């Protein structure tokens, strides 16, 4: 239709109405951010010219459709349907091998949401109209359908599918939320939800999403927590895929996706993972394809059957797509080491028959190999309790301070079993070395406690020698006598020495501004800090850093 053609008033009216509909379609798409939302379509006809005509009649992509395939009869169409899972099927009625009526019935059993349009001639018109009553959405007259009429049908189908998706997702979210958060297996679904199973006919895939997060046992001990991905944002991302029926949260950092079965759900899971990680920058997700090509009831039962084994996902690296065969069917075991055994390494001079490394390796590698989540959790809690018991109680002169169980920058290592094992092993070795050094020095009386207190409070700009003496319930003169005997200087000079050593270490190992280093070592005035540094090292902080570079 263009201005060169002599169009009737009816044609003009149809064209003008269609233009308004196209404007509406594009506006709605922009508003919802749905430019990439493509409806998959398939054309089935044994007549080659008819297939080519309808394939080229409109620009399918312009109207949000992807013509994924064509087929010459019902049998080949059914094979293509399993492969591409189109949401719109336009099929001829009279075809060899399998006609359009049987094809429509088979597709209805597989996917009730799929829209089916019949291609009919005048002779089949009454037949096509009666088929609509049997569940076929509409019909297209072969010899009267031009581009405007076809576009009108496509826009109508699009609205129908969007309404179906919204309605079914609303129902499905509540349905699965109620089921998956229930601890019972083999429930009577229809009694439990008051929704007939026939509402979810067809075959589905069930995928579990795990967001990598700080190991729960460590988070509880140290008060750290990973921010969970926003549920609404996840829906915006995943609901772009029209095969996704529902996304529900089942546990903290764990979600379930129920989707209409596709030929290759693993590829779909990789795409979802990449989308989630690109939208939630810094977060990683592991996707488990738990059940595929199954009824809704079987998907739910598979979830409860495997639920006790979900902890095994902790034993693989983050950001992966795995399948149901990954799980090991083994029960939980007790940790291979006791708290009492570990405490011997941190309180006694003799370490016994086995080294710390032997004890840790044998215990941890056993539970990691067996993917024994409960055993790992028990073992790890023992180790963290040991670290926490020495927090702030040992001088860490290597770093210029006191020993702390963890550093916030180490959180990236707390999300999978292997990385966490390496981290806790390193921390225990480090603690063991500090305690060995303490025992080697054999500090007399309260001397070690004095130095420990200074290392723990040197960043306090208000700290004085009198306050340190008051902390230990002795006079300043008595405290200075003890300090001179062990360190060869007064307590105040000892405090300055610690501050200067820490400042020098920060200048050597970091790019922090000198004004920031000044405040970190207990000087609120940078000029006062520079004077003290020059007096101690015979060079200013600025000159020292320049010389190091």
Q: Are 119 and 90 contacting, i.e. CB atoms less than 8 angstroms apart? A: yes
How far CA 325 is from CA of 148, 290, 310, in Å, comes to: 51, 9, 12
Cβ-proximal residues to 527 (8 Å cutoff; 6+ apart), any chain: none
The single-letter DSSP state of residue 322 is E
Q: Please report, in tens digits, the pLDDT of each residue of the chain (549 residues total).
A: 333 343 333 433 444 455 545 544 444 444 343 344 678 899 999 999 999 999 999 999 988 899 999 999 999 999 999 888 888 999 998 898 898 888 988 888 888 778 898 887 755 556 655 555 555 667 777 777 888 989 988 998 888 887 777 777 777 787 787 777 664 444 555 555 555 555 677 788 999 999 998 887 776 666 778 889 999 999 989 988 878 888 999 989 999 999 888 878 999 999 999 999 999 988 999 999 999 999 888 888 899 889 988 988 888 878 899 988 888 766 455 555 666 666 666 665 545 545 778 878 888 888 888 888 888 888 888 888 888 888 888 888 777 788 888 776 677 778 888 888 888 888 888 888 888 888 777 777 788 888 889 988 898 999 999 999 888 888 899 889 888 888 889 999 999 999 998 899 888 888 889 999 999 999 989 999 999 999 999 999 999 988 876
- H/E/C letters for each residue in 83-119? HHCCCEEEEECCCCCCCHHHHHHHHHHHCCCCEEEEE
- CA 105 – CA 89 distance, rounded (Å): 12
Q: State the pairing for strand pair 285-294/204-211.
A: antiparallel
Question: How far from chain centre, in Å, is Cα 146?
Answer: 48
The CA-based angle 516-518-522, given to 5 degrees, is: 120
Q: Give the side-chain half-sphere CA count within 13 A for 454.
A: 27
Q: Are 139 and 129 in contact (CB under 8 A)?
A: yes
Helix (H) or strand (E) holding 71: strand 65-71
């Amino acid at each position: 239709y263009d201005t060169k053609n002599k169009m009737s008033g009816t044609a003009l009216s149809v064209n003008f109405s269609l233009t308004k509909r196209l404007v509406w379609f594009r506006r709605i798409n922009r508003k919802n951010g749905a430019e990439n939302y493509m409806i998959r379509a398939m054309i089935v006809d044994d007549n080659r010219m008819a297939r080519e005509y309808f394939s080229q009649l409109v620009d399918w992509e312009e109207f949000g459709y992807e013509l994924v395939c064509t087929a010459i009869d019902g049998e080949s169409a059914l094979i293509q349907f399993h492969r591409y899972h189109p949401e719109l099927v336009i099929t001829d009625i009279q075809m060899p091998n399998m006609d359009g009526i049987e094809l429509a019935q088979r597709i209805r059993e597989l996917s009730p949401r799929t829209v089916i349009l019949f291609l009919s001639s005048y002779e089949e018109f009454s037949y096509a109209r009666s088929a609509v009553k049997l569940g076929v959405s509409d019909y297209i007259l072969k010899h009267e359908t031009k581009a405007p009429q076809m576009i009108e049908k496509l826009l109508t189908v699009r609205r129908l599918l969007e309404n179906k998706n919204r309605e079914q997702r609303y129902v499905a979210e509540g349905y699965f939320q109620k089921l998956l958060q229930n601890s019972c297996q083999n429930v009577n679904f229809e009694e439990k939800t008051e929704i007939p199973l026939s509402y979810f006919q067809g075959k589905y895939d069930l995928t579990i999403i795990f967001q990598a997060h700080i190991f729960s046992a460590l988070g509880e001990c140290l008060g750290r927590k990973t921010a969970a991905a926003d549920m609404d944002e996840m829906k915006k991302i995943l609901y772009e895929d029209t095969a996704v029926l529902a996304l529900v949260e089942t546990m903290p950092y764990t979600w379930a996706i129920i989707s209409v079965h596709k030929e290759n759900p693993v590829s779909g899971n990789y795409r979802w993972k990449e989308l989630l990680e690109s939208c939630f920058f810094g977060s990683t997700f592991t996707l488990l394809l738990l059940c595929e090509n199954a009824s809704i009831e079987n998907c739910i039962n598979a979830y409860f059957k495997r639920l006790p084994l979900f902890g095994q996902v902790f034993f693989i690296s983050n950001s992966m797509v795995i399948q149901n065969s990954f799980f090991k069917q083994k029960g939980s075991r007790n940790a291979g080491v006791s708290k009492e055994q570990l405490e011997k390494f941190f309180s006694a001079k003799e370490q016994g028959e086995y080294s710390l490394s032997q004890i840790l390796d044998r215990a941890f590698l056993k539970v990691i190999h067996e993917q024994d989540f409960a055993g790992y959790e028990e073992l790890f809690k023992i180790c963290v309790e040991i670290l926490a018991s020495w927090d702030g109680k040992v001088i860490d002169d290597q770093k210029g301070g006191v020993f702390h169980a963890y550093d916030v920058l180490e959180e990236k290592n707390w999300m999978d079993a292997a990385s966490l094992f390496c981290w806790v092993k390193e921390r225990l070795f480090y603690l063991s070395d500090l305690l060995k050094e303490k025992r080697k020095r054999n500090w007399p009386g309260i001397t070690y406690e004095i130095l420990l207190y200074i290392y723990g409070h040197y960043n306090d700009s208000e700290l004085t020698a009198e306050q340190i003496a008051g902390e230990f319930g002795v006079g300043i003169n008595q405290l200075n006598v003890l300090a001179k005997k062990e360190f060869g200087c007064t307590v105040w000079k000892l405090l300055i020495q610690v501050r200067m050593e820490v400042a020098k270490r920060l200048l050597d190992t970091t790019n922090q501004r000198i004004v920031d280093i000044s405040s970190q070592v207990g000087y609120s005035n940078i000029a006062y800090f520079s004077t003290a540094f020059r007096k101690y090292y015979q060079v200013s902080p600025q000159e020292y850093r320049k010389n190091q570079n």
